[in-house]
Chain A
Amino acid sequence: MSYCVHCGVELAVSERDCPLCGTEVVNPRCAWERPEQLPYPETVDVKDAHIDRRYARQLVAMVMAVPALIVLLVDWVDGGGLRWSPYVVGALVLIYCWVVVPLLFKLSRPYAYVAVDFISLGAYLLLIAAMTGGLNWFVQLVLPLLALCGAALSGAILALRRLEWPLLDRMALCCAILGIFLLLLEVLISLYAGVPVRLAWSIYATIPLDVIALMMLFVERNKRMKQEIRKRLFL
């Protein structure tokens, strides 16, 4: 049985020092010994991750819905049809997808954000194409272009997220992806322009990229060279 000399309270067997004032209890007759059973176990409850964003999402959606409705209404009353308001509403939806989704939604994988961004952009461009009668242009150029950009970006994310790989390897893969992207881009543009596919500028861009990628792979695998570079370039 020990008492706190400062507070005058008796300390339960579980307490090594006074929980009220921190004074260590020195009882020469009976040193503190950790009892077999403490009043509370050692394991600590951890809180769930935040999903408080729900309120913020609803609020933003509501705040953005107000101007959208006003624009639609004004356009309708003014001209008896939807002439320009869809552009505005589409732009608002696009802003929501591009800004609010990354900030306030917690998607499990980054690819989901890429998908949301590209699908929303595609949908907006489709809306514009449909309203201006340019569906051809959309199908032949925009759609493949978006798919290509989305794929390249996903590839780059995939490469950068492999944290277990050496950094230089990941960079090399990114360079290679960029090179392939440029090649395919030129093919696409040639197809759309209706000229026979002959790679020109993309080759000049891709070759140096591939060389850089190979150099990175080589340096990564060459211990002494890595050491040397590190020695010269350290900050």
Chain B
Amino acid sequence: MSTRQRRLRAPEWLQLDNAGKIYPATRSQDWMAIYRLSVTLDEPVDRALLGRALQSTLKRLPTFGYRLRRGLFWFYLEQQSTQPQIQDDAANPCMPLSRGRDGHHMFRVRVHDARIAVEIFHVLADATGTMTFLLTLTAEYLRLRYGPRIPATALVLDLRDKPDPSEWEDSFPKYARQAARPRSEEAAYPLRGTPAERDYLQVVTGMVDTAALAQRARGYGVSVNTYLAAHILQALVDIARQDKSPRRARKPVKLSMPVNLRRYYPSRTLRNFSSYINMPIYQSYGEYTFEDILHQVKHYMGYETGEQLINARFSGNVHAEQSRLLRLAPLFLKSLVLRLMYALTGERYFTSVMSNLGLINLPDGMARRVKRMDFIIGGGRSNPVSIGCVSVNGHTFINFSKTIREATLEQRVFSALVRDGLHVVVESNRRMTG
């Protein structure tokens, strides 16, 4: 397909979606909201073929190739004709995009042995959108490498289809309603530690059998998500209770959990369309057993994930964006305000974040070749530990990514899983010299 035809299919430029608007303002050379999804195949990856697959994938999912530009009032995304090179993977994932290495691209594709990883700036898409991008790319790579075409599914798009405007719509204003919930919240207990080596995001991965995990969760009468969240909250509670600063220890620990809004609305967008719920445990009010925490997570999340409450939460952001005053402010002023707001409130409302992408169902032909998937959330700006989970082919991969040396949180979580009778294999990105 010629560039001209492609240009006709995809818009020349796009406004940022409602959730994406915060990221360029808070971005700096030092920090950027980046996350990473990867697929590990059963054989080393052929880079030349992957490059070709990327080219076709970008034609089908054009908005992933866009660059970020500053307008007078807002940032926007603009079509560009270049395609990123396939890069070597690095020991420290999720570093900010670099002009030199990444040009103007908002994502990078990297290869290490049999693993294909996409590291992406949150301004383009949320994890569901990027998962579609990565799996479509992988399916095309597998077709080029082994022949048969992978059948299309919800997460694997058919490259012979034309891109569709519904795939890059901003679904937030479309589904927002008039009423909004107040956004202010209680500050959360802040996790602190010794800063790790500069510019080195440490990753500790725990691998668990999905069926065994599901069985444990069922034993408690909860979902895997609730079960994992409860273990993390339990560990956070224990950490907070041992904190020597009474001022800090008084604050509730809160685990932020993203919610995929496509579950509620018939949106086909591949850009940002998720919200979040900050699950609190008030550890200073008394002792909590694991069952107490499970119970509270189950019911609090059940309550908060009601469509009405979810809607009222993101509707507030949509109203804020549409306010006349904010819209008319020049970009640099807006950026200053957003930066300040993010610095003051952004990460204060949660102690850590756990994003569970759940079970990824791969089409036949692809499942055979995929050994593993990982979801790594880049370091927070101030919160030092984030957790990304994904399950594929019978294994669940729990990635702790952190900017502090202490491994207290993941140690407690994984030990608790072991005590619960699960078999956990642990791996890290530490450099094994000598």
A53 to chain B, nearest CB (A): 10
Q: Are B332 and A55 in contact (CB under 8 A)?
A: yes
- Residues of A near B415 (CB, < 8 A) are 7-9, 20
Q: Are B29 and A19 in contact (CB under 8 A)?
A: no
Interface residues of B in 403-434 (CB under 8 A from A): 407, 410-411, 414-415, 418-419, 423-432
Task: Determine whether the beta carbon of B199 is less than 8 Å from that of A45.
Answer: yes
Q: Are A20 and B204 in contact (CB under 8 A)?
A: yes
Cβ–Cβ contact B426 & A11, under 8 A: yes
Residue of A nearest to B335 (CB): A55
- Residue contact A12 to B199, C-beta cutoff 8 Å: no
A235 to B335, CA, bound (A): 54
Contact A52 B88 (CB under 8 A): no
Distance of B377 from chain A, by nearest CB (Å): 16
Q: Mark B113-152, 1 if CB is under 8 A from A, else 0.
A: 1000000000000000000000000000000000000000
| B207, B423, B430, B432: residue with the most chain A Cβ atoms closer than 10 Å | B432
* Stretch in contact with the other chain, from B6-14, B59-67, B91-99, B157-165: B91-99
Taking a contact as CB atoms closer than 8 A, the residue among B30, B112, B199 that contacts A40 in the complex is B112
Q: Is the CB of A58 within 8 A of B91?
A: no
Asked if B424 and A41 make an inter-chain contact with CB atoms under 8 angstroms apart, the answer reads no
Q: Which residue of B lies closest to A43 (CB)?
A: B90
Q: Interface stretch among A31-39, A159-167, A204-212, A213-221?
A: A31-39
B336 CB–A CB distance under 8 Å: yes
Q: A46 vs B101: C-alpha distance in the bound complex, in angstroms?
A: 10
**B175 at interface, CB cutoff 8 A:** no
Instruction: Report yes or no: A7 in contact with B88, Cβ–Cβ below 8 A.
Output: no
The interface residues of chain B lying within 8 Å CB-to-CB of A9 are: 206, 414-415, 418, 424-426
When chains A and B are docked, how far (Å) is the Cα of A153 from the Cα of B332?
37
Chain B residues numbered 173-226 whose CB sits less than 8 Å from any CB in chain A: 199-200, 203-207
B residues near A233, Cβ cutoff 8 Å: none
- Point out the residue from B101, B112, B419, B426 that lies within 8 Å of A18, measured CB to CB: B426
In the complex, A16→B28 CA distance in Å? 36
**Could you tell me the dominant secondary structure of chain A's interface residues?**
loop
Does residue B89 face the partner (Cβ distance < 8 Å to A)? yes
Tell yes or no: B266 within 8 A of A by CB.
no
A101 to B236, CA, bound (A): 47
Contact partners of A223 in chain B: CB under 8 A: none
Residues of chain A with a CB closer than 8 A to B432's CB: 14-16, 34, 38
- Please tell me if the beta carbons of A40 and B336 are within 8 angstroms of each other in the complex: no
Q: Output the least CB separation between B179 and chain A (Å).
A: 35
Asked if A77 is an interface residue, CB under 8 A from chain B, the answer is no
Within 8 A of B (CB), among A90-143: none
Please report the C-alpha to C-alpha distance between residue A55 and residue B427 in the assembled complex, in whole angstroms: 40
Within 8 A of A (CB), among B372-419: 407, 410-411, 414-415, 418-419
The answer to whether residues A8 and B418 also contact, given A21-B407, A48-B100 and a CB cut-off of 8 A, is: yes
A41 touches B427 (CB 8 A): no
B90 A14 Cβ-Cβ under 8 A: no
B204 adjacent to A48 (CB under 8 Å) = no
Q: What chain A residues lie within 8 Å of B425 (beta carbons)? A: 9-12
Quote the shortest CB–CB distance from B199 to chain A (angstroms): 5
Query: Which residues of A (20-34) have their CB < 8 Å from a CB of B?
Result: 20-22, 34
Residues of B within 8 A of A18 (CB): 426
- B92, B98, B428, B431, most chain A CB atoms within 10 A: B428
Separation of A88 and B261 alpha carbons in the complex (Å)? 56
Closest to B417 in A: A9
Residues from chain B with Cβ under 8 Å of A62 in the complex: 332
Residues of A within 8 A of B414 (CB): 7, 9, 20
- B410–A20 CB distance below 8 A: yes
A49 at the interface (CB under 8 A from B): yes
| A contact residues around B419 at 8 Å (CB) | 8
Q: Is the CB of A40 within 8 A of B90?
A: yes
Among candidates B90, B91, B100, B426, residue contacting A12 with C-beta atoms closer than 8 Å:
B426
- Is A59 in the interface zone, CB < 8 Å from B? yes
Which one of A38, A41, A45, A49 has the greatest number of beta carbons of chain B within 10 Å? A45
* B11 → A minimal CB distance (Å): 27
The answer, yes or no, to whether A195 is at the interface (CB within 8 Å) is no
Contact between chains at B427 and A39 (CB < 8 Å): yes
Please, how many angstroms separate the alpha-carbon atoms of A226 and B101 in the complex? 49
Q: Which of A19, A51, A59 contacts B428 (CB 8 A)?
A: A19
Q: With the chains together, A32 CA to B334 CA distance in Å?
A: 54
Chain A CB within 10 Å, residue with most, of B207, B336, B425: B425
Q: Mark B15-32, 1 if CB is under 8 A from A, else 0.
A: 000000000000011100
Known: A19-B407, A40-B93. 16 other contacts (CB 8 A): A10-B424, A10-B425, A15-B430, A20-B414, A39-B427, A40-B89, A40-B112, A41-B112, A45-B91, A45-B92, A45-B98, A45-B101, A47-B29, A48-B29, A48-B99, A48-B100
Task: List 5 A-B residue pairs with CB atoms under 8 Å apart, sorted by A's residue number.
Answer: A9-B424, A19-B428, A20-B414, A43-B90, A47-B96
User: B residues bordering A, Cβ < 8 Å?
Assistant: 28-30, 88-93, 95-96, 98-101, 112-113, 199-200, 203-207, 332, 335-336, 339, 407, 410-411, 414-415, 418-419, 423-432
Cβ-closest 6 pairs across A and B? A12-B427, A19-B428, A8-B418, A20-B411, A45-B90, A45-B95
